[in-house]
Structure 1
Amino acid sequence: MTSNLEMRPLWGSPKRNVKSSTNLFCVAVGIRQKERVDKMVRKFLSSNFVVMLFHYDGIVDEWKDLDWSDRVIHVSAINQTKWWFAKRFLHPDIVAEYSYIFVWDEDLGVANFHPKRYISIVEDEGLEISQPALDLAKSEVHHQITIRSRNSKVHRRIYKSGDSGNGCDGNSTTPPCTGWIEVMAPVFSRAAWRCVWFMIQNDLIHAWGLDIRLGYCAQGDRTENIGIVDSEYIVHYGLPTLGDTDEKASYKSYESNARIEVRRQSYSEFQVFKKRWKNAVDQDECWNDPFPEPVK
């Protein structure tokens, strides 16, 4: 038995003057990025998305002055990551009515992004897992594959040279050369999310290492079913505030002790995730890896 996230009236029938939402937008938010989140939410609501805010700073009432506040779902838990929220509130049976699930960070600019056009593109391209490309001029970029290409609508791989044979060429089949997205703005099909949700570890809340394994949820060939959408792109400002308790600190000073500890914890969880994956593979005698690591 499935459910959904549609809010119900205390009495009478729900209003049916608009088409039921078929896509879900979730974002982890803190009050310090209210203005940026406001722009994102307005875009997705205008495209008839269900919207859910994960409040990691526990502040909810200060969002009530926005005219859309009562139309979205608010979930609050102090200092929890979006993956902690997703594991607990986005069970596949709960979100089974939604064709696409967006699980985004808050530090993103959407001036050049249009949700409906994006959905149309991933449907046409058959992308089960995707993300919008990043505007290189304005974004903090961690991986070259996420950079927007101005000459294409979608790209699925990157070509670059590298030392010691570590480059990405047309024969590369491993992330992050192909079959890979970053996890700051992922978009999952219903089927892909059912797989990804089970891959998220309940106790590893930063989810480092998950990006490398997303290809196993691509419902087939990850080099074809995972891609970066260039024509609908965003800005990644790289301004994390989760864990930063100094409300007066500027974004430029976010390298506080708290942020350093968050990064240290993330790396530690990454090592645990890799070990768990290896142990699971070793213990499953029936496992046949569709994406075996290349012999070096």
Structure 2
Amino acid sequence: MDLLYSLPFQGSLSMNQKRKGLSLRRLFSLVFFLAMIFLIGNAFITVDYKEGIAGWSSIIRLNLAKLKMCKTQLRPPGSETLPRGIVASTSDLEMRPLWGAKRDKKPKPSLLAMAVGIRQKESVNKIVKKFPSSEFVVMLFHYDGAVDEWKEFEWSDTAIHISVVNQTKWWFAKRFLHPDIVSAYSYIFLWDEDLGVDHFDARRYVSIIKEEKLEISQPALDPNFSEVHHQLTSRDKKSRVHRRTYKVIGRARCNENSTGPPCTGFVEMMAPVFSRAAWRCTWHMIQNDLNHGWGIDFQLGYCAQGDRTKNIGIVDSEYILHMGLPTLGGGSAENKTDSGKLDKTKTPHAADKSSSVSTGRTEVRKQTYVELETFKHRWKNAVKNDECWIDRFQT
């Protein structure tokens, strides 16, 4: 009996063990499968996470680089809040139509600017006619208030007229020839009104200074009929352009070794011609409160864009006559006739007026010397106080 009952029981136990083993194997397989899924999924998540981090890092780096680039971009003062593409930082003196089709043309390549009075209108007319209207903008600074009287000339309507009474060429230039305004022009002619131009051609002159690479220049003065203050500017009949003189001037012995004024690197102030870059520098040197500009001519070498002995020159083949007429202070025709001689036909009243005029001219002359000393003093102090400035012409 015991044997009979024990056999079925043992068979049942063996069957249960098999079932339990099968269940364990299935459970193990499931656990293994789930574990593999977890590991594989975790790997993908990690890759995505790393890629996400890398992507954000790249974006941050790009933004930082952009921010750094934007900070280093030079924008004109006052335009920082504007989008870069809308900023028009320069201008020109070209006239624009009030209506109709836009005239799509380039600005004229050069500018002639002059301080003028109506008493010298014939001289000024001759000068302006030497500058072709297709290549030069003409800008007149009227120091006597007379503007309408110039309308008789055919070129007057296309010229730019600025009128302020009793101001000098340098006063006008500082206020109306800002470098950003005249940046469109390759050359700026800043001339006086008392010049004879019978032997001058503006086109040829520009061609010469381009070829000679002159940043600052002037036409030579006819030594036989001109008021010549510096030997360097006197015409040399044997040359097309000269850059130095070899004469003894005061204590200066001018020779090949001379490096500055009055022997080389110098032009006078009655008819200077500046390149765009040279004018930008010169404009900054003009003092706002010193009207006559005395002293600037001896420092123009610092604006010559390099070696002043090479980049400043006198053009001999296109020369002018400097009449030296005193105008500001009441001079002009009351002091001199066109030939520069005294007018002996004046009445007593006219003589009194002439005396007053003479006094005015004397005061103007005194002021020019005062301003010269002021400019020299300011230059000396500026050199002393600027620790970063290097004098390229110091010997």
TM-score in terms of structure 2 length: 0.71
Specify which of 143, 153, 157 is matched with residue 66 of structure 1.
153
Gaps of 5+ in 1: none
The answer to whether structure 1 residue 147 and structure 2 residue 234 are counterparts is: yes
User: Relative to structure 1, is the Cα distance of residues 190 and 22 closer, same or farther in structure 2, using a 3 angstrom cutoff?
Assistant: same
Q: Helix, strand or coil: the match of 2:245?
A: coil
- 5 Å-filtered alignment, 1:46-65, equals 46=133, 48-65=135-152
- 5 Å-filtered alignment, 1:177-188, equals 177-188=263-274
Q: Helix, strand or coil: the match of 2:132?
A: helix
- 5 Å-filtered alignment, 1:120-269, equals 120-162=207-249, 165-244=251-330, 248-251=334-337, 252=341, 256-269=358-371
User: Relative to structure 1, is the Cα distance of residues 15 and 115 closer, same or farther in structure 2, using a 3 angstrom cutoff?
Assistant: same
Q: Helix, strand or coil: the match of 2:278?
A: helix
Q: Which residue of 2 is the match for residue 287 of structure 1?
A: 389
User: Which has the larger displacement, 62-71 or 80-89?
Assistant: 62-71
Q: Is the 1:47–1:116 Cα contact (8 Å) retained in structure 2?
A: no
Distance between the aligned counterparts of 1:43 and 1:126, measured in 2? 22
Q: Is the 1:128–1:225 Cα contact (8 Å) retained in structure 2?
A: yes
Q: Helix, strand or coil: the match of 1:281?
A: helix
Matching residue's letter, 2:309: T
Distance between the aligned counterparts of 2:254 and 2:154, measured in 1? 47
Matching residue's letter, 1:166: A
Q: Which residue of 1 is the match for residue 193 of structure 2?
A: 106
Distance between the aligned counterparts of 2:93 and 2:372, measured in 1? 31
Question: Could you list the per-position Cα deviations for residues 197-225 of structure 1 after superposition, in whole angstroms to 9, with x for gaps in the alignment?
Answer: 00000000101000000000000000000
> Segments of 4+ in structure 1 off by > 3 A?
13-16, 245-249, 251-255
| Higher share in helix | 2
Measured after TM superposition, the shift of residue 82 of structure 1 is 0.4
Measured after TM superposition, the shift of residue 54 of structure 1 is 0.4
Q: Helix, strand or coil: the match of 2:367?
A: helix
> Which is greater in Rg?
2
Matching residue's letter, 2:159: V
Matching residue's letter, 1:35: E
The answer to whether structure 1 residue 23 and structure 2 residue 105 are counterparts is: no
Matching residue's letter, 1:62: E
Q: Which residue of 2 is the match for residue 3 of structure 1?
A: 91
Distance between the aligned counterparts of 2:207 and 2:185, measured in 1? 15
Q: Which residue of 2 is the match for residue 273 of structure 1?
A: 375
Question: Could you list the per-position Cα deviations for residues 3-37 of structure 1 after superposition, in whole angstroms to 9, with x for gaps in the alignment?
Answer: 00001111123546x86411000010000100000
Distance between the aligned counterparts of 1:162 and 1:202, measured in 2? 32
Specify which of 19, 43, 48 is matched with residue 130 of structure 2.
43
Measured after TM superposition, the shift of residue 247 of structure 1 is 5.6
Q: Is the 2:92–2:107 Cα contact (8 Å) retained in structure 1?
A: no
Distance between the aligned counterparts of 2:209 and 2:326, measured in 1? 28
Distance between the aligned counterparts of 2:166 and 2:392, measured in 1? 37
Q: Helix, strand or coil: the match of 2:293?
A: coil
Matching residue's letter, 1:195: C
> Sequence identity of aligned pairs in percent?
65
Question: Could you list the per-position Cα deviations for residues 129-155 of structure 1 after superposition, in whole angstroms to 9, with x for gaps in the alignment?
Answer: 000001111111111111111111100
Distance between the aligned counterparts of 1:152 and 1:225, measured in 2? 17
User: Relative to structure 1, is the Cα distance of residues 106 and 85 closer, same or farther in structure 2, using a 3 angstrom cutoff?
Assistant: same
User: Which has the larger displacement, 280-289 or 75-84?
Assistant: 280-289
Measured after TM superposition, the shift of residue 162 of structure 1 is 4.8
TM-score in terms of structure 1 length: 0.94
Question: Could you list the per-position Cα deviations for residues 45-91 of structure 1 after superposition, in whole angstroms to 9, with x for gaps in the alignment?
Answer: 34620000000001001111111110100000000000000000000
Gaps of 5+ in 2: 1-88, 343-353
Measured after TM superposition, the shift of residue 166 of structure 1 is 2.1
Distance between the aligned counterparts of 1:158 and 1:111, measured in 2? 25
Matching residue's letter, 1:256: S
